[in-house]
A and B are shown apart, each in its own frame.
Chain A
């Protein structure tokens, strides 16, 4: 198993390197990082512009810039930022913010997907199945920002009805923060509720459809029919035999979606003003901050590689016929 993991990681290195070089060249050609500084009113002195160009390594050929950037990363140097932020110090807390949001949302979405998917499969073509299907397609077709706005308005109405702020619409915590343990917990939860629900509601419908179709397929398989014929309890057949097998394709989908969600629940983070990976990318693109964009891309490519590997490892856990090696 360990050898397999190491081999997979080694294979990923050249892929990430080639990808990073291509994206570096593309990002470098995407505009003048000093454009906004050059258009400042009153104008910035020439000497300042020259110094900034040197600091941003814009006076170097692109190959040299790439090499400096790549070799700096192991030392924790992610390159100079247009906005003079410490990219390394900025991106890790943002990854943590996104991770907190995504983890909760994924747990909620997975729970919903499993319940809805299994119930829909078991009660196939019933009123319950049709209702879940309708809700699923409604959420699938509803843009995340629209759902967020609707929920925000409901939250505001709730707060106004109760006369106190229970649910918040912006940020990860109140400023200034409340004092005391329980007020702090309530404040954090009050800020988590809406973005978690929005992210979960956008992620769970396709997952529930996967669970439903897999469960239907598995329920009709010979080994499940045999299990039933042997008199094993229906619940046990469903959970131990059918669901376990049905989870294999879901694992692939969730692993890939997780990478996407980690890389930035851009809309959700923007609407709720969470300072995660999504807003980091938006700011970096807006500011033409080449090295900040590259840091984001590199991190996301690593996340994609890691979660693909995790998905492959989970196959072996869920399906004993799969042998890694």
Chain B
């Protein structure tokens, strides 16, 4: 009966994620699959004119790309009008200098850490105002809680260590000094905001004025940004409908070829393919699902790219609950889980190159990646059983009894509702746990955030969840693994990990950072905290006559090079 249930679940498991730029699994027709170097694939020359419509899956309610409550959609649009010093390329490892905005950005000193940004002399906002140090300083003031306690900034990391920001050469050279080294300094000022516009929006030099301009002004609650420092500028925005952008006449970079770029809101993924087929939109970037991919493969006149993304799926144990506090039990459960087999029954339907992720911090495309998982995820039930029995556990009549003689209580495992792939993962995990005498009750939640932050008795023991990866790893994972950090949802605490992460944050050499972070990962394996599963892929589908359109599984998304998009004859 159980087997039939699992089979039924697998049969309807439509939402499937996978990794790699490899070929889709299941012997699918891959005639319109585009492969190649992720940073240069689909390069071509476009003719002048035309409109390209890109689908956003969520509405935008805050246009401030540095705001705390923005979604991914805000960043996707910001890519084409609001410049950042560095951009992460589709290969997931190259953090490239934005040469339109900057001539150079270098760390010129380490004690104290000193950063020098040389702004491109041609760089101007669309009203002709030069881009200067003042724009960097505005971002710094709004993101440093000491200078603006009420500013609702998404990240304050690094900014709180800045002791001075000086503009020279008419503001075209920006020199930043930090009190403590900040290894992820390339994440700073990404993106910048126009200081002269901020003044119009309320920045009068006081903390209150600064907060007003940052929280309310750049939000553009009932309007849209009327400024641009990128290839496109806004023409119109209708909430829940679409943003229409046209070429920025003051753009100093490579000329734009299209007449307009539309970001259209379509919140139901299943409606994206018909809209593409009917030529109402030209680019879609949906979460890959088997049936959706089959539809795409059957379409004429479209191409698709399936690339590795930075998003990961994992199983998070909740150490706040007594049931999961024993590392022996966690280690046994994670050792018994066969991640390879799980992938074969889920993401393998989408790509034949899907592989288990054997590191919690790095993905295989990044230089720091190494296998730190040991026996975790191997599906070795015998080993898992011996881990338990060696620690004094015993399995009595199909139930696991802990060393004190108390039966291990049923565990609650959650996943976000309607995610059938994670439902399958949970079912397989429950099935495996049963072999160790542990009952896992699989339940859904309608909000990851509400579940992981629900403090009173946290209502999950295990959580199958996604993790949005970034290229600035020390910053991100210090928040996930440091004691009582903001994203430490499982309540993990280890002085060893705290120390390694502190060192990683201060290290400015990438090899050193990788050493510290892999040390963190190894300690997490030792403590059996979090079982990584696989990378979530990024599917980009577009009309076959579009060039320079590329999948980018990072936070920047495909519009990272939106100014280069074009239509061939």
Contact = CB atoms under 8 A, between A and B. Distances in A.
Interface of A: 31-32, 34-45, 47-48, 51-52, 83-86, 89-90, 149, 152-153, 155-156, 159, 165, 168-172, 174-176, 270-273, 275, 279, 283, 286, 288
Contacts of B33: none
Given A35-B450, A275-B240, A42 B155 contact: yes
A42 B476 contact: yes
A155 B278 CA distance: 9
Contacts of A149: 274
B447 A35 contact: yes
7 contacts: A31-B446, A40-B449, A43-B485, A51-B152, A155-B278, A176-B51, A271-B268
With most chain A CB atoms within 10 A of its CB, the pick from B157, B241, B267, B450 is B450
B453 A175 contact: no
B62 A156 contact: no
B271 A271 contact: yes
Contacts of B219: 84
B278 A41 contact: no
A207 B450 CA distance: 43
Contacts of A40: 68-69, 154, 449
Contacts of A89: 222
Contacts of B280: 165, 168-171, 174
B487 interface: yes
A41 B244 CA distance: 28
Interface stretch (B17-25, B258-266, B520-528): B258-266
A150 to B, nearest CB: 11
A83 B219 CA distance: 11
A43 B51 contact: no
Contacts of A34: 449, 453
A39 B449 contact: yes
Contacts of B274: 149, 152-153, 156, 169-170
B278 A156 contact: yes
B145 interface: yes
B487 A41 contact: yes
Contacts of A37: 68-69, 449
Given A42-B154, A175-B244, A283 B453 contact: no
Contact of A85 (B61, B262, B275, B485): B61
A170 B68 CA distance: 31
A83 B281 CA distance: 26
Interface residues of B, number: 59
A104 B449 CA distance: 40
A32 B453 contact: yes
A153 B274 CA distance: 8
Given A52-B69, A83-B69, A171-B280, 14 more contacts: A41-B470, A41-B476, A42-B487, A44-B152, A48-B153, A83-B62, A84-B62, A85-B61, A90-B239, A165-B278, A171-B264, A172-B241, A271-B268, A283-B59
A144 B479 CA distance: 45
B145 A43 contact: no
B268 A43 contact: no
**A-B pairs with the 8 shortest C-beta distances?**
A43-B486, A35-B450, A39-B449, A36-B449, A35-B449, A38-B453, A83-B61, A175-B242
Contact of A175 (B155, B264, B452): B264
A176 B262 contact: yes
Given A35-B453, A39-B452, A51-B150, A170 B266 contact: yes
Contacts of B150: 47, 51
A174 B156 CA distance: 41
B415 interface: no
Nearest to B453: A38
Contacts of B238: 175
B149 interface: yes
B394 to A, nearest CB: 38
A41 B266 contact: no
B487 A86 contact: no
B341 to A, nearest CB: 29
B110 interface: no
Interface string B56-95: 0001011000001100000000000000000000000000
Given A32-B450, A86-B221, A175-B264, A43 B479 contact: yes
A270 B268 contact: yes
A170 B279 CA distance: 11
- Identify the interface centre among B274, B446, B479: most chain A CB within 10 Å of its CB: B274
A170 B271 contact: yes
A85 B478 CA distance: 33
Contacts of A35: 447, 449-451, 453-454
A36 B145 contact: no
B448 interface: yes
B268 A273 contact: yes
Tell which of A38, A172, A283 has the most Cβ of chain B within 10 Å. Answer: A38
A51 B151 CA distance: 10
A170 B275 contact: yes
B424 interface: no
Interface in B28-49: none
- Of B156, B222, B485, B489, most A-chain CB atoms within 10 Å: B156
Contact of B447 (A31, A83, A172, A270): A31
A45 B453 contact: no
Interface in B486-513: 486-487, 489
Contact of B69 (A43, A84, A271): A84
A277 to B, nearest CB: 12
Contacts of A170: 264, 266, 271, 274-275, 280-281
A275 to B, nearest CB: 4
